[in-house]
Amino acid sequence: MASELIRLQDLVMEFGKDRVLNSINLSIEDKKFLTLLGPSGCGKTTTLRIIAGFQKPTSGEVYFDGQPITNLPPYKRQINTVFQNYALFPHLDVYDNIAFGLRISKLPEKEIDRRVGEMLSSVSLRGFENRKVSSLSGGQQQRVAIARALINRPKVLLLDEPLGALDLRLRKDMQNELKQIQQEVGITFVYVTHDQEEALSMSDTVVVMDSGKILQIGTPEDIYNEPANAFVADFIGESNILDGIMLEDYKVRFFDRDFECVDTGFEPNEPVDVVIRPEDIDIVPADPSKLCGTVTNVTFKGVHYDTIVDFKGFKWLIQTTEFHPEGSYIGIEIDPNEIHVMKRSEYSGMFGDYSSYSEEYYDITNMEEEAEEGAAE
């Protein structure tokens, strides 16, 4: 059974008149990997700084193992932080960087040697003991930073976008390694990122934030399959989001057609948001009994084609391994399980249309290519 290690209760953070955290309530389980995910400025770092003790909340309480620690200074908490810029000591070698915290605690050299050895294995840096940290790659420096933060055996490691400075490929490798390190040392990780794929692939629990609020807490599967509202659906993966009417249990209407679904518990004829993931739509021959539309754009993505289809002026993204050229008139089928009905929210109508998809896609691809070229130079 998992047990609660940290609890954030009604946290509010104000800077002058700006309220940047608005009643944050969160339970963090012992020995789990929890990720705060949200767009820039939503309050992730502020939340982390309050857990670490670098920032005192305007109101609210932080509990550790059931005890309030809101007023405890950082060095008295069993919590360490890994920062994005690593903050390593450039004049020390790998061994001395990792041993630093134990030397401060005045441990015997023999004990230090044993524990640094263990840490070097955990982060796969055996043999690098005597290297200057300035001679290491970004990924190796990151591992030294993690080893240095773990050597004091904290109960919790806080990581604020620790892979942000690495190029795409190395970031992916480090994601796997971080997850392995967390499982091996068996302590709680609280991780901050604005990268949804990173959050989904590493975490036991994902916390989606926007504008100083928590919108959803769940496993990666929950968050992806049952997004709480249009913001979460749009932020996590690609989504077609459209206006619907929940006619009755198991029956939703959109595009003037009735669809069978698996959702219940709405008012009769309640207006709702409907989410359909691009990979969950089957393309079938056009037929008056089906919802039909015209392909307006096709992009080959390796495993599948991103196919944009215009239904009465509303553009959907469909991901399919079959090629349907621009201009084809096609029908679609959606399994009732793949239709996700959500309550209307302040985010309704803001997301989920792919009308501007081709320009957006072009911009993103160019940006990524430029970033990778930059990193390679």
Ligand X SMILES: Nc1ncnc2c1ncn2[C@@H]1O[C@H](COP(=O)(O)OP(=O)(O)OP(=O)(O)O)[C@@H](O)[C@H]1O
Interface contacts to ligand X, rule CB under 6 A: 15, 18, 20, 38, 40-46, 194
Question: Nearest distance from residue 209's CB to Mg ion, in Å?
Answer: 11
Applying CB under 5 A, which part among 39-47, 74-82, 246-254, 332-340 lies near Mg ion? 39-47
Question: Of 200 and 209, which CB lies nearer to ligand X in the complex structure?
Answer: 209
The helix/strand/coil state of 230 is helix
List the single partner that 194 binds among Mg ion, ligand X, none, CB under 5 to 8 Å by kind: ligand X
Closest-by-Cβ residue to Mg ion is 45
Assigned token pair, 303: 């495993």
Residue whose CB is less far from ligand X, 37 or 178 = 37
Distance CA 319, CA 304 (A): 6
Whether the CB-CB separation of 364 and 238 falls below 8 Å is answered with no
Q: Which does 148 bind (CB under 5 to 8 A by kind): ligand X, Mg ion, none?
A: none
CB of 356 to ligand X, least distance (A): 24
State residue 224 phi and psi, 5-degree precision.
-75, -45
| 50/230 with CB nearer Mg ion | 50
Residues 13, 33, 45, 339: which binds Mg ion (CB under 5 A)? 45
Provide, rounded to whole angstroms, the least separation between the CB of residue 304 and ligand X.
30
For residue 20, the partner it binds in Mg ion, ligand X, none, with Cβ less than 5 to 8 A by kind, is ligand X
* Helix locations, the chain, DSSP H: 44-52, 94-104, 109-122, 138-150, 168-185, 196-202, 220-225, 230-235, 357-376
Please list, in sequence order, all residues whose beta carbon lies within 8 angstroms of the beta carbon of residue 353, skipping any fewer than 6 positions away.
240, 241, 242, 314, 315
Q: What is the C-alpha separation between 354 and 89, in angstroms, rounded?
A: 48
The string of DSSP codes covering 133-148 is GGGS-HHHHHHHHHHH
Taking the least distance from each CB to ligand X, the nearer of 44 and 315 is 44
Q: How far apart are CA 34 and CA 199, in angstroms?
A: 9
Least distance (Å) between residue 199 CB and ligand X: 13
- In the list ligand X, Mg ion, none, the entry touching 300 (Cβ below 5 to 8 angstroms by class) is none
Residue 81 as a binder of Mg ion (CB under 5 A): the answer is no
Which of residues 43 and 293 has its CB atom nearest to ligand X in the complex?
43
Would you give the distance in Å from CA 97 to the centre of its chain?
30
Q: To the nearest whole angstrom, how small is the minimum distance from the Cβ of residue 305 to Mg ion?
A: 36
Whole-number minimum distance, CB 83 to ligand X, in Å?
12
- The nearest distance, CB 190 to ligand X, in angstroms, is 13
Q: What is the DSSP letter of 238?
A: -
Which among Mg ion, ligand X, none contacts residue 43 (Cβ within 5 to 8 A by kind)?
ligand X
3-state secondary structure of 354: coil
Partner in contact with 203, chosen from Mg ion, ligand X, none, beta carbon below 5 to 8 Å by kind: none
Measured from the CB of residue 70, what is the shortest distance to ligand X in angstroms?
18
Site for Mg ion (CB under 5 A): how many residues?
1
Phi first, then psi, for residue 199 (nearest 5°) are -60, -45
Q: Which residue has the tokens 């012992």?
A: 30
| Residue 93 CB neighbour total at 10 angstroms | 18
Contact partner at residue 40 from Mg ion, ligand X, none, CB < 5 to 8 Å by partner kind: ligand X
Single out the segment in contact with Mg ion by CB under 5 A; choices: 25-33, 45-53, 55-63, 115-123: 45-53
Give the residue from 290, 281, 359 showing the smallest Cα distance to 316: 281
Contacts with 284 (C-beta within 8 Å, 6 or more apart), sequence order:
290, 330, 331, 332, 333
Both tokens of residue 44?
């992730």
Shortest gap between Cβ of 203 and ligand X (angstroms)? Answer: 16
Residue ranges binding Mg ion (CB under 5 A): 45
